[in-house]
């Protein structure tokens, strides 16, 4: 299996992988073979997996898609990487992503954009564009990804694969290079919900090394996959079907909803009235946290250091100016501004209050339904370059994913058809399924019944 995927990766021109090392992978595969021979079998033993380059690895380079960390080798493995190793999985390498996971198109990677395997002129989505493209192109059967405001669900949707962002705190953030710590959450991507359930079984769990990790009893996320959906109440938020939604995406999502009705579910009209505010709220809170998290990249402790400088302050500013790309610098500036004296109350505190109201929206909606469904992204994948110089256009594409992240709820994306609106034919559409806290097993069940 490892050889099969390594060969496919070698022939691919998608730019999905940033670092592959055949010998390292084959050594892990040999180890897995030995474990199998000894009868130490888990459902994942010997199955290859590739990691988003946000997860640090001792053996492969870890760059977070940034020049700042070019060539960086971590002294330890992220908890998630370690968990998959413990389950006997074989690491295929590291996957391209937007710089420090900031982006919706993978065009913010220092190492160049990833191409969408369905149409190489299109973006794969972001920030986990490498993960989604690798799964879609069968370069890996499983991948890790991270979601701060949609980065698992949106690329999964735009590449036609399945991904789940668990409840905040389910998956350890230890060794996940931080973007916005109160939002960042790792999760799996694969072809199917069933695969995601098996991966989440290995990935979830308490970790003392992450202060926001949740102590919950161990769960089998695959336990409910085969449950019938008779009687399931699906909330349809009217704010997710407004004028900004492309007709072809709406059509595919509505067709999926009818399928759910045939499976015995009922559709209930619900409202998430603060949806529109999720964009300004997220783009205050996420940059604020990013400006603090990224202060560690000072040219001393990690990564890039400018070659010439006058004094210490000059070394800091030159190293950071050279090491960070435009989008990262923009967010550091915005974040430092909204946290500064005199602006904190007006922006950051306000945003925190609205964040609470956004969570209330969901709380109210879940009194009327079991899960919420809608589109993941307002359009299908756009062309590489189309929105590259327009940060706001990129931010607007996050409208349906940000509130779930702000509320800390689990959400997933499953393929539900293709759009018609692009010139080259067909680009995938994703159906979003949002659940109440800790309801991942139900989300996976609902997804599996459709697949």
196/210 Cα distance (integer angstroms): 23
Residues 284-303 that bind ligand GLN (CB under 6 A): 286
Which one from 109, 151, 405, 413 is the annotated catalytic residue?
Answer: 151
Q: Is 68 exposed, middle or buried (0-12, 13-18, 19+ CB in 10 A)?
A: buried
Q: Of 164, 170, 151, 180, whose CA–CA distance to 210 is shortest? A: 170
The residue within the footprint of ligand GLN, chosen from 79, 96, 104, 293 (CB under 6 A), is: 104
Q: Pick the closer one to ligand GLN by CB: 103 or 188.
A: 103
227 catalytic per annotation = no
Q: Pick the closer one to ligand GLN by CB: 28 or 104.
A: 104
127/138 Cα distance (integer angstroms): 19
- Going across the sheet that includes 142-147, the strands are 17-19, 90-95, 48-52, 142-147, 185-190, 162-165, 411-422, 425-435, 371-375, 233-237, 266-270
| Cis status of the peptide bond prior to 127, with omega within 30 of 0 | yes
Residue 40 CB, shortest distance to ligand GLN, in Å, is 35
Which one from 127, 128, 213, 405 is the annotated catalytic residue?
Answer: 127
52 catalytic per annotation = yes
SS3 call for 171: strand
The residue within the footprint of ligand GLN, chosen from 68, 102, 145, 376 (CB under 6 A), is: 102
Residue 187 has phi, psi (to 5 degrees) of -165, 170
Q: Pick the closer one to ligand GLN by CB: 286 or 376.
A: 286
* Closest residue to ligand GLN using C-beta atoms: 151
Residue 184 CB, shortest distance to ligand GLN, in Å, is 7
Cβ(237)–Cβ(372) under 8 Å? Answer: yes
109/307 Cα distance (integer angstroms): 23
The residue within the footprint of ligand GLN, chosen from 144, 148, 291, 404 (CB under 6 A), is: 148
Residue 345 CB, shortest distance to ligand GLN, in Å, is 24
387 catalytic per annotation = no
Q: Is 117 in the site for ligand GLN (CB under 6 A)?
A: no
Residues 204-243 that bind ligand GLN (CB under 6 A): none
Q: Is 398 in the site for ligand GLN (CB under 6 A)?
A: yes
Contact residues toward ligand GLN (CB under 6 A) are 101-104, 127, 147-151, 179, 286, 398
| Positions marked active-site | 52, 127, 151
């Amino acid at each position: 299996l490892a050889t099969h995927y390594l060969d496919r990766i070698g022939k691919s021109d998608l730019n999905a992988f940033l670092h592959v090392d055949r010998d390292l992978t084959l050594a892990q595969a040999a180890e897995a073979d030995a474990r199998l021979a000894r009868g130490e079998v888990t459902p994942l033993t010997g199955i290859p997996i590739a990691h988003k380059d946000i997860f640090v690895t001792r053996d492969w380079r870890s760059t977070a898609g940034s020049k700042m960390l070019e060539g960086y080798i971590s002294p330890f493995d992220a908890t998630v990487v370690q968990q998959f190793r413990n389950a006997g999985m074989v690491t295929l390498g590291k996957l391209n992503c937007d710089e420090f996971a900031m982006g919706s198109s993978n065009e913010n990677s220092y190492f160049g954009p990833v191409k969408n395997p369905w149409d190489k002129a299109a973006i794969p989505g972001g920030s986990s564009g490498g993960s989604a493209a690798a799964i879609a192109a069968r370069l890996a059967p499983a991948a890790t990804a991270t979601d701060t405001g949609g980065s698992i669900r949106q690329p999964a949707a735009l590449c036609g694969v399945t991904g789940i962002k668990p409840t905040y705190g389910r998956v350890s953030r230890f060794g996940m290079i931080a973007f916005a710590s109160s939002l960042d959450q790792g999760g799996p991507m694969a072809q199917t919900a069933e695969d995601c359930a098996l991966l989440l079984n290995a990935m979830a769990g308490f970790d003392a090394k992450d202060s926001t990790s949740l102590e919950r009893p161990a769960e089998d996320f695959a336990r409910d996959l085969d449950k019938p959906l008779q009687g399931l109440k699906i909330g349809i938020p009217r704010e997710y079907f407004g004028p900004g939604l492309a007709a072809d995406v709406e059509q595919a999502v509505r067709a999926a909803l009818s399928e759910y009705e045939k499976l015995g579910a009922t559709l209930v009209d619900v409202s998430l009235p603060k949806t529109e505010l999720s964009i300004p709220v997220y783009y205050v809170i996420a940059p604020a946290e990013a400006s603090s998290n990224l202060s560690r990249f000072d040219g001393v402790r990690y990564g890039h250091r400018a070659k010439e400088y006058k004094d210490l302050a000059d070394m800091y500013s030159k190293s950071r100016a050279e090491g960070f790309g435009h989008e990262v610098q923009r967010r550091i500036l915005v974040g430092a501004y909204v946290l500064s004296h005199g602006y904190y109350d007006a922006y950051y505190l306000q945003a925190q209050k609205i964040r609470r109201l956004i969570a209330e929206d969901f709380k109210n909606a879940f009194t009327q339904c079991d899960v919420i469904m809608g589109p993941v992204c307002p359009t299908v994948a756009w062309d590489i370059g189309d929105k590259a110089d327009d940060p706001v256009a990129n931010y607007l594409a996050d409208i349906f994913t940000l509130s779930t992240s702000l509320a800390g709820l689990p959400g997933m994306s499953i393929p539900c058809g293709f759009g018609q609106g692009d010139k080259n034919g067909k680009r995938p559409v994703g159906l979003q399924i949002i659940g109440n806290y800790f309801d991942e097993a139900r989300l996976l069940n609902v997804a599996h019944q459709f697949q």
